[in-house]
Amino acid sequence: MLADGSSRHLAGCWAFFIVHRTDPFKRDFRRSSLRKTQVKVPQATNRVPSLNALKAFESAARLGGIARAADELCVTESAVSRQIRSLEDDLGIVLFERIHRGVRLSREGQSLSATLSSAFELIRRGVDEARGPVGEIRFRTPPTFGTRWLLPRLHRFEAANTDITVRVSVLWACTLPVHADHDVAIVFSRRHWPEDDLIPLMAERLMPVCSPAFRDQFGPVESAADLARGLLLHCSGSKDWVWWSTQWNRGHLDCSRGEVFDTMDMALRAAESGRGIAIADVAMIADDLELGRLVPLVPFTSTGPDDLYLVRRDRDRPRQDIDRFVEWLMAEAGAAMATLPTGVKAIPAAVPA
């Protein structure tokens, strides 16, 4: 039997042994946990988020909605929403901001969307190159050029190039560099595109036209006052009429009056029906003039503000099928620009102030 003092001494030794045996493990565990946490911070910062989440966000941003993204990706809308929320949590930023009637991209969302569109386009090009010539060209065009100029001629290219399919999308929205849903596109606004990306296709040549019956009833036009007797038909504003009347220079024409249509094609349809006088690019109405559906009311053409340009996404790595299609487009455009309708004269070029 140990004395009380010895018992207390032995208990103290056991306590010392236990503490110093166990505490180092606890301290090492804590240090280990701390080290792991410290290592994970830069890894989490530099880690690329889920590709599925990135693609879901890119599709929703590019197409302008969750439902359209879900259709493109063949998943449910809730799946796309979950992926976008996951991406926002992962990045610690808000990609979509709620507004009165829906959502819009935040500033960070716009930046990420542009980067991802370019990145996924680069991936697509790499896959296309690995597969070899695809033989399908995605072509995006504004409505009037597509319906009045391209589609009536496209059968000639298809007959001579049976190994190539041209999938045409006729869209009103202006094609921007961030759009990745085309291989070749027609644009009429230069301000969004780098100069090196624009390939001149057709210079705009404007001329007032109407139906034959309207012209016969309207009588000769020698001045702006004569022209003012008719109803002017506008395409998205009056700038085309301003350009033409300024260069024609036969007096002041009030271009603010008349009726306004979303597209030139709609205004031309109204002119064909005898509604009034449309201002149109001569190349877009060549077939109508030849068939007599439209006639010049004033047989003078001016330059216009909206020349047409080609853009192609394969310029850095040209595809043979796209080369053939672009060469055909340039040849057809050159033929269309080579002549004017019989009896029509060009006004010497002068840009309105």
Q: Which residues share a beta bridge with 331?
A: none
Token digits of residue 126: 């790499």
State residue 277's pLDDT score: 98
pLDDT of the residue at 350: 55
pLDDT at 18: 37
- The label of the residue with tokens 């009030």 reads 254
Q: Are 276 and 210 in contact (CB under 8 A)?
A: yes
254 in the Ramachandran plot: left (φ > 0), alpha (ψ -120 to 50) or beta?
A: beta
pLDDT at 131: 55
Close Cβ partners of 295 (under 8 Å, ≥ 6 residues apart): 209, 210, 211, 212, 215, 289
Helices (H), ranges, the chain: 4-46, 51-63, 66-73, 77-91, 107-131, 143-144, 151-160, 212-218, 224-227, 239-248, 264-272, 286-291, 320-337
pLDDT in tens, the chain (353 residues): 444 444 444 344 433 333 343 333 333 323 333 233 332 333 445 678 889 999 999 999 998 888 889 988 999 999 999 999 999 998 999 998 887 777 789 999 999 999 998 998 888 877 766 655 568 999 999 888 999 999 999 999 999 999 999 999 988 767 676 666 789 999 886 667 788 889 999 999 999 999 999 999 999 999 999 999 999 999 878 899 999 999 999 999 999 999 999 888 899 999 999 999 999 999 999 999 999 999 999 999 999 988 999 999 887 788 899 999 999 999 999 999 998 888 899 987 655 54
CA atoms within 13 A on the CB side of 271: 34
Residue carrying the six token digits 């877009």: 284
Query: For 255-288, b where at least 16 C-beta lie within 10 A, e where not — what string?
Result: beebeebebbbbbbebbbeebbbbbbbbbbbbeb
How far apart CA 254 and CA 234 sit, in angstroms, is: 12
Q: What pLDDT, on a 0 to 100 scale, did the predictor assign at position 1?
A: 43
Amino acid identity of residue 127, one-letter, is V
Alpha-carbon span 226 to 235, nearest angstrom: 21
CA distances from 185 to 32, 118, 191, 224 (A): 57, 16, 15, 37
How confident is the model at residue 45, as a pLDDT? 58
Other C-beta atoms closer than 10 Å to the C-beta of 133 total: 13
β-sheet bridge partners, residue 98: 103
The β-bridge relationship of strands 136-141 and 165-170 is: parallel
Q: Which residues pair with 166 in a beta bridge?
A: 137
Q: What are 102's strand-pairing partners?
A: 99
Return the pLDDT at 20: 40
Query: For residues 246 and 88, what is the distance between their CA atoms, to the nearest angstrom?
Result: 53
**308: β partners:** 202
